[in-house]
Amino acid sequence: MKRQSGFSLVSVFIVGAILMALLVLGLKVVPVYAEYFAVKKAFSKVISGTDVAASPTEFRNAFQRFADVDDITSVDRQMIEVTKDNGRASMHVDYRRTVKLYGPVSLLFEFSVDS
């Protein structure tokens, strides 16, 4: 009689648990990066759509309009630094986002966005 090889029932459960953990991790991480890319997109739209002579408050208010539409909650308008150099405006923000995983375990994401 030939010896059978392959996955045992325990192996299938272990592989399934690992895949499930990776799926849950992915479902928690994807929204964080989606928000990061929304912030980058909002910065580029604000810079291209706002007059260079505008005040920093106008740049921040323009960003807030995009943030309200795109549901950006990690960046507030007061966190944004607006600088003007040689007739060109630029925006910068550093922010953190913490994602709770399980119990005392969480992930910390640190982002820096420039326009």
Kindly write down the DSSP assignment for every residue of 24-90, as one continuous string: HHHHHHHHHHHHHHHHHHHHHHHHHHS-TTS-HHHHHHHHHHHHHHHT--S--GGG-EEEEETTEEE
Per residue in 58-86, pLDDT (tens digit) is: 999 999 999 999 999 999 999 999 999 88
Mean pLDDT of all residues in 42-70: 92
Q: How high is the pLDDT of residue 59?
A: 94
With bands split at pLDDT 50, 70 and 90, how would you rate the model's confidence at 18?
very high
Q: How high is the pLDDT of residue 73?
A: 93
